[in-house]
Structure 1
Amino acid sequence: MKKVLIVTYYWPPAGGPGVQRWLKFVKYLPEFGIEPVVYVPANPHYPLQDPSLEQEIPSGIKVLKNDIFEPYSLAKFFSRKDTTMISSGIIPKEQKQGLLQKTMLFIRGNFFIPDARKFWIKPSVKFLSAYLEEEELVTIITTGPPHSLHLIGLGLKRSKKINWIADFRDPWTQIGYHDKLRLTKTSQRKHEALERKVLQTADKVITTSFTTQKEFMAKTDRPVAVITNGFDVEDVERLPLDEHFSLAHIGSLLSGRNPENLWKALAELTREKPDFKKDLQLKLIGAVGEPVLESIEEFELNDHLVRRDYVSHREALQMQRSSQVLLLIEIDSEETKGIIPGKLFEYMVSERPILAVGPEAADIEQIIRKTNSGRFFLYPQKGEIKAFLLECYELFKSRKLKASPVGVQQYSRRSLTAELAQQIKSL
């Protein structure tokens, strides 16, 4: 059985979408003749934790750990809330930032390149160099963000005869929040130079979206493959459908993702249709930006709002399967058209219709349309959003509201792992 070393920052008990991708790959790789060995920090700063995921780590998997120093552990003494937000990629609009937030962003962007986990690079290269010599292991995979982990791969590739795959769950210099880090021109050039070195040195590059693949192919002649995120066939109790006409957003709904025309459409329907007003429920599960809450209040939807903070992955799946309509909101920008949230695939197999709002030419539009799992709208399309909401509501009233997705099996974690195994074996 071929061994592969996986270098990842997010690992149980970490919560959130970052942990799911490689936890599931590790689960299925042995079925395809590959033995994964996982390398993670021993004392990480996880902004979200989900201890229940520790039960999903396959028995017998070797997990190597090494200490990490993270500035976030010091910054939290100044502001725990701001530290958690920034380390999660939650960055308020500039006009909403206080002096402390601006200072923290400037330090984060210009003193910690590519990110605040940079202090793990040299110790990890030293630790893993010794391990690779002992084990005669020749294939490694680094996954980011944090993109500093790719610099671990770069260091090992330069000193060892190894095969290296760089897996990008999100873009690097073209990620949505990159331009909010208050970068100097010198720091921006450093980011771009490091990104270029990784893309040109790795034997293979994997991305989770077609847009990012295209962007990377313009920067390197190395092979760039797309292996999206996906869903797992999990034994989760399916709760009864909500009795209300519930619209649920599972996950962070940050300030940049504020679909005002969706709130306007809902407000108009509550004024025009008394039954709709009586039945409507808006469920926001996870962190919600203040501008989003302000818009909901402005359009007099607070009486319909149900909020919960972060929930476990199992609870999230249950909520997806019991809600009437699932909301998927992406930032309306050129930089985010290649973002394909992992929850999209879990949404698809919940058999609940998806109402998605995002930028023009978004990758999610292509997937939703091809799988017949819902409808995608641009931010300005209030009339079209309103019509779809009314269509869903009428089906809800007749107890016929259900999605019938097609072709989703290609996005199962097992199928995606088969693709990954082929990439590994071809090195």
Structure 2
Amino acid sequence: MSLRKIKVPKKVLIITYYWPPAGGPGVQRWLKFVKYLPEFNIEPIVYIPENPNYPIVDDSLVSEVSKGVTVLKQPIKEPYRLASVFSKKSSKTISKGIISEQKKQSFIEKAMLYIRGNYFIPDARKSWVKPSVAFLSDYISKEKIDTIITTGPPHSLHLIGLKLKESLGVKWLADFRDPWTTIGYHKQLKLTEASKLKHKALEKQVLNTANQIIVTSFTTKTEFQQITNKPIAVITNGYDNEKHVNFTMDNKFTLSHIGSLLSKRNPVILWKVLRDLVKENVGFSKDFQLNFIGSVSENVLNSIKTCGLSDCINNTGYVSHKEAVVFQKKSQILLLIEINSEDTKCIIPGKLFEYMISNRPIIAIGPKDSDVEKIIKETNTGNYFNYTDYESLKRIILEHYIAFQNKTLQSHPIGLQKYHRKALTESLSKLL
């Protein structure tokens, strides 16, 4: 009688900057992949900085790290810590990606943006590349690891993968959670022509050296196909089974935005629609509330103030992921706002997928023909509008308000299963 051969799990090294207790959407993607990879006979080993300077911290996520997973840590030099000596506020907001309008930037902010853009290419974590390569080269050889994954931003982590690929010949998968040179804030970094060319050259080198490229959106895939012939797989972000949370639906007609609202992520058309509904409908004016859960730029708050809606705002600020889930479930409507630009058509915020399973209607505003528009329509989870759709936006909000009054307001999603984190991890496992 023959014994069944036990298949030894394949070891894969994952190089990431964001890891609990980091908060925000960047940490969720690989936290969940690591959770499910063992079910596909893959043993993830995670490499992270020992002393990172995370702009957002969420200690509740530490408990979600898979028990038994190997986590390697090495020190990192963080320029944002030094920058905070000169301006704590500017360094913190820039590290979050919140950049003031040019005409409102202080001298210190302008100087910091110039230094960040031209002296730290591709980003402020570039000094971690050399020591990481030295440490990991030894570790990979000792542990006989033949596959590595880098995930960015920060895109400097792809340079670690590049060096390890060149020196050890490992299989390398480069995961892009966001684009590199076409991401919205890139144009605000006051780059010289030489710096722009250097970014482009590094991007091209990474895309043409990695064995496999992974992106989170269809538009980014199309963009990268103009630069490389290497295989590119789209694996979006997704949702996971959330632990049961106790909540009571809001009594007010709440429109809630969860996450950061950057200065250019400012849909003035929405504020005007809400202003007009408040003026025209007494019931609406009494019931309406605008919730902001996360960082909001002064530019956005000033636009809302100009529309006379300041008294309708509940500005909660950043909360833990668990608390954010509660807000998603108890809000009447969930807002998803993106900058109105060609460059943002590829952005699919991670929170979209959590929104989709919340049973609440989504109102999304962004550029025409975006990937978000495609997913929302495909899953029947809400309505998508451009920055000029005043009449249709007003009509849908009013329809939702009537449904709220009749206690029938909810979403009716279809085909969400393929966006479950386990299904997405299965797609990743096939590439490994």
* TM-score band, normalised by shorter chain: over 0.9
Mapping of 1:290-301 within 5 angstroms? 290-301=298-309
Report the secondary structure of 1:306's partner residue: strand
Aligned to 1:263: 271
Segment drifting more, 233-242 vs 21-30: 233-242
> How much has 1:164 moved relative to structure 2?
0.1
Aligned to 1:127: 135
Output the CA distance in 2 between the equivalents of 1:87 and 1:258: 20
> How much has 1:238 moved relative to structure 2?
4.1
Output the CA distance in 1 between the equivalents of 2:54 and 2:248: 33
> How much has 1:236 moved relative to structure 2?
3.3
Q: Deviations over 1:362-401 (max 9, x none)?
A: 1000000000000000001111110010000000000000
The answer as to whether partners of 1:324 and 1:401 remain within 8 angstroms in 2 is yes
Q: Deviations over 1:164-194 (max 9, x none)?
A: 0000000000100101100000000000000
Which one of 167, 170, 173 corresponds to residue 175 of structure 2? 167
Which one of 297, 318, 325 corresponds to residue 289 of structure 1? 297
Output the CA distance in 1 between the equivalents of 2:262 and 2:190: 19
TM-score, length-scaled by structure 2: 0.98
> How much has 1:2 moved relative to structure 2?
0.4
1:86 equivalenced with 2:97 (yes/no)? no
1:24 equivalenced with 2:32 (yes/no)? yes
Output the CA distance in 2 between the equivalents of 1:97 and 1:224: 38
Query: After TM superposition, where is structure 1 displaced by more than 2 Å over at least 4 residues in a row?
Result: none
Which one of 70, 73, 84 corresponds to residue 62 of structure 1? 70
Report the secondary structure of 1:40's partner residue: strand
Report the secondary structure of 1:77's partner residue: helix
Segment drifting more, 321-330 vs 70-79: 70-79
Q: Across the two proteins, how many residue pairs are aligned to each other?
A: 424
Output the CA distance in 1 between the equivalents of 2:57 and 2:325: 16
Segment drifting more, 232-241 vs 136-145: 232-241
The answer as to whether partners of 1:236 and 1:318 remain within 8 angstroms in 2 is no
Give the counterpart letter for 2:333 in structure 1.
Answer: V
Aligned to 1:109: 117
Output the CA distance in 2 between the equivalents of 1:90 and 1:156: 33
Report the secondary structure of 1:90's partner residue: coil
Output the CA distance in 2 between the equivalents of 1:236 and 1:117: 37
Give the counterpart letter for 2:397 in structure 1.
Answer: L
Which one of 138, 151, 171 corresponds to residue 143 of structure 1? 151
1:370 equivalenced with 2:407 (yes/no)? no
Structure 1, unaligned runs of 5 or more = none
> How much has 1:104 moved relative to structure 2?
0.2
Q: Deviations over 1:269-327 (max 9, x none)?
A: 11111000000010011111111111111111111110111100000001000000000
The answer as to whether partners of 1:374 and 1:403 remain within 8 angstroms in 2 is yes
Give the counterpart letter for 2:272 in structure 1.
Answer: K
Output the CA distance in 1 between the equivalents of 2:303 and 2:392: 20
The answer as to whether partners of 1:236 and 1:317 remain within 8 angstroms in 2 is no
Output the CA distance in 2 between the equivalents of 1:70 and 1:95: 28
Structure 2, unaligned runs of 5 or more = 1-8
Aligned to 1:34: 42
TM-score, length-scaled by structure 1: 0.99
Aligned to 1:209: 217
> How much has 1:91 moved relative to structure 2?
1.1
Mapping of 1:361-400 within 5 angstroms? 361-400=369-408
Q: Aligned Cα RMSD in Å?
A: 0.6
